[in-house]
Structure formats: C-alpha cells, structure tokens
A = this chain, B = another copy of it.
Amino acid sequence: MIRSLCTIADKCASLDSIATWIDIRNKEVSVQVERIPFKALDKWEVLPDNSLHHCSGKFFSIEGIRVKTDYPNPMEWEQPIINQPEIGYLGILAKEFDGALHFLMQAKIEPGNVNNVQLSPTLQATKSNYTRVHGGKNAAYLDFFRNAKSDQIILDQLQSEQGARFLRKRNRNMIVKVDGDIPLNEDFRWMTLGQIKELMQRDNCVNMDTRTVIAGIDFAEHFVSDAEMAEMSDFGRDMLHSAFAQSGVKTLRGVLSWLTNLKSRYDLFVERVPLNQINEWECRDDEIVRYDKKYFRVLGVRVHIENREVVSWCQPLVQPMQQGICAFIIKKIDGMYHFLVQAKLECGNRDVFELAPTVQCLTGSIFNGAPRPPYTDYVLNARKEQIVYDALQSEEGGRFYHEQNRNMIVIADDDFPMDLPSTYQWMTLGQINEFMRYSNYINIQARSLIAALKYK
C-alpha cells in the first residue's frame, strides 16, 4: 500500500499517459443534457404532491421534508431531498504489480459532470443498478465484490453522502485485492495510489466516489519501510506521524465525549411533508426552486450519450445555485499536525451531527453582508505559502448537475487561536481515521479532503 502511495512514475502507465487517456475519453464522448418537464421523464412518475418517483418504486425519489431542530440557526425549515434508502457499492479492485498495489479505475461518464468523464471506482452501483431494476447491463466486476473473501478485503466501510441533499444515504466503500488475471474493459486502467492522489490535485478529474473510498485507507495500518519513509515529503512524513497518533490535544475518549454532549444537547426531527406544500419553494413544471433562488433546484432532464454506443434516459438532477467551499485548517501542535474539525448538523444526517471540514459553506453573494461562518475569511484570505491544497472537485455527477466545490487545505499561522467555538475540535489524523472506521462520523466533504492529502 505504501509502495503504491509513493509510486507516481510507474512502469504500468505514466501519469501523463493516464491524463491523456482521460482527455481522449472526454473528447470521444458527447453528452447532451436536455431540460424537460417532470411529467415527460420516461420511467418516472410525478405524484399528486409533485414528488418524483422511479416507476420501479426503487432507485431514488425527490420528496419534501420538514426539519426541526433546537440547534441554531434556522430552527425550522422545509426543503426537497433525495431519498435513496438503498446501500450501493463503491468498490475498487486492487492488484499487486512490481510490489506496489494498483487500483483499477474507470473513466466514467456521468450526466451531471462539468466535464464528461472522471475517474471512478471499479464498481459504482446502487442496489437498483445491480439488481437491474431499471434495466441495463449487469455491472462489470460486481461479483468480485459480492464474493470477496475476508482475506481479500482491504477496506469495507459504510459511509454517508451529503447530509444537506440526501436523506440518510450511505454507500458501502470497498477495496478488494485480487490475484488472478482480470479482464480489462477499455474504460478501465490500473494505476497507483500515488498517481490517483496526483490526479486529485487537478480540477474535476477524480470523482467523488473515488475520493470517499480512498479516504478510508489508514496508512498507519500498513508497513512503512525506511526507504519509503525517505521517499516521502516532509509534509507526508508529518501526516504519517499524525496518522499514528490516537491522542492529540484531546484523547479519543475526550473527542467522543465532546460529540456525545452535542448529540445529546440538540434534537433533529425530520418528517415527510407534501413536496408541493413546502415553504419557500415552488414546484414548477420543469423545476423545483426556492423563491429567492438560493441553495439548489431540482431539474428534470433527458440525458443523451454518444460514445461507442448511444444511450439515453431521463432522470431528475439537483443543480446548486452557488459554488461552495470545503476547507480544512491544519496546525502543528506540539510538533503534530491537527485538523480543525467542525461538528455539523445537516438534515439528512443519520445521527444529528457528523464531523465536517473547518469550513463547509456556500460562497458568492449568499451572505449579503451577514457574518460568514467561522474561519471562512481566514481560509479565503490564506497566503499562497499556507495553501497545501486547492482544487475544484465535483460532487456525484449521477445526482448533481455541474456541482463543483473549492477544496482547500490551509496551514494555520503560528498565532492562530487555539481556543475554539464549542462545535469545533482539534483532531489528529489518527483520530479522524479511527472515526472513519465506524459509519456516520466523518462526512463526505471531510473525507474528500483527507483523500487529497499527498505524501510524496
């Protein structure tokens, strides 16, 4: 694993050749997304309350919810949400070549991508996909994950998706090691972890599903040789050091107690309400949108993809109305990097709060002069030498239309205040990894940033 992390110039394929392959794939394909009225969505049904359901009764639906919480602010609101109660697979096959694990990545087209093709896990399939509820071919490589033996499984975690958009959605994140020959479809390529992380430094190249799986790898679980240690950057060695730390400013028990206190203190009640009656929102023929145009809207689209074959289908997509920013502030405390983590309440969370990046909010004119969330200005005004990571990354193109957020990791100045508001906490990477093992603790935005950490 660590060999893979440190390998960027690889014999199988150079970084340039992979980037070129993605570019070519992008040019070869034409994706048209045409807005159509909801009633014209093939295989979708519009119920009397305007909620949208797949005709199979499976897959996902767009419904209305009312949210009440005693956590400020606001205390009560209504919104549409994506309801997809099934757990799907996000699976990556891994195989050793020349002593380094390689990961089988897919150049995958999604209708909502800003570009057409991004690097995706080997398998990305909802339960409806792989039980073939909405027709189509059987997902490639599915059986490797379904039939994986326990000694092949490198990673196997249930992880949450965006709590502001999905109602308690989760996926099964897996990495499965294989030995034998694997038939290689032309949309698939083997690459090292170092290469994937290198591609994450570019805008919108590695998709959200890949990032969440990669984030789950705990390097402290894997053997690191002196030679590999020497190959890493100073920052990489510092991160590995932090990954080994189960205790930092606070013990693991202390962090859990802080989170227990917050979960006990604040209630989150979510109930279904008819979509056409939710406050502040309007259901039109072809969009569900807020009167003030804030946050996001739901569209009906017909997707038309021309590639080696022609495929076409209809579905709802969610389009953001602003760009957002997700940023971790990190700081060396007593020689050890700590991440400034925020406990964030979102309506789709399964357990009230999840741990989020220091800053996770919309940008643009949305605050209209009102005070912005803590640390937002600090991150946006960071000097170049403080910035470890800065790239645009896309959210899941199967549900979100042209949604990209700025992902940043910023090193705090020496005089950055150690005292934090009550919903913020300093945590080591080892503590974050420990929480990652158990479901519904680290949110997808935080995981996406952890995945982007470079060690070389």
Binding site for B on A (CB under 8 A): 85-87, 89, 150, 153, 156-158, 172, 221, 250, 253-254, 256-258, 260-261, 263-264, 267, 269, 350-351, 437-441
Instruction: Enumerate chain B residues within 8 angstroms of A256, measured Cβ to Cβ.
Output: 156-157, 437-438
7 more contacts with CB within 8 A, not counting A156-B260, A350-B350, are: A87-B264, A153-B257, A156-B261, A157-B256, A221-B253, A256-B437, A438-B438
Chain B residue at minimum C-beta to C-beta distance from A437: B256
B350 touches A267 (CB 8 A): no
B269 touches A157 (CB 8 A): no
Chain B residue at minimum C-beta to C-beta distance from A171: B264
A158 partner, pick from B157, B158, B172, B263, beta carbons under 8 A:
B263
Most B C-beta atoms less than 10 A away, residue of A157, A254, A439: A439
Ordered by A's residue number, 25 sampled pairs between the chains whose C-beta atoms are within 8 Å are A85-B267, A85-B269, A87-B263, A87-B264, A150-B250, A150-B257, A150-B258, A153-B253, A153-B254, A156-B253, A156-B257, A156-B261, A157-B256, A157-B260, A158-B260, A158-B264, A172-B260, A253-B437, A256-B438, A350-B350, A350-B351, A351-B439, A351-B440, A438-B438, A438-B441
The distance from the CB of A78 to the nearest CB of chain B, in whole angstroms, is 19
Instruction: Enumerate chain B residues within 8 angstroms of A150, measured Cβ to Cβ.
Output: 250, 254, 257-258
The distance from the CB of A149 to the nearest CB of chain B, in whole angstroms, is 11
How far, in angstroms, from A439 to B440 measured CA to CA in the complex? 10
How far, in angstroms, from A366 to B351 measured CA to CA in the complex? 36
How far, in angstroms, from A85 to B89 measured CA to CA in the complex? 31
A172 touches B264 (CB 8 A): yes
How far, in angstroms, from A312 to B155 measured CA to CA in the complex? 56
Pairs of residues from A and B, 4 with the lowest C-beta to C-beta distance, nearest first: A156-B257, A438-B438, A87-B264, A172-B264
Instruction: Enumerate chain B residues within 8 angstroms of A440, measured Cβ to Cβ.
Output: 351
Instruction: Enumerate chain B residues within 8 angstroms of A250, measured Cβ to Cβ.
Output: 150
Instruction: Enumerate chain B residues within 8 angstroms of A258, measured Cβ to Cβ.
Output: 150
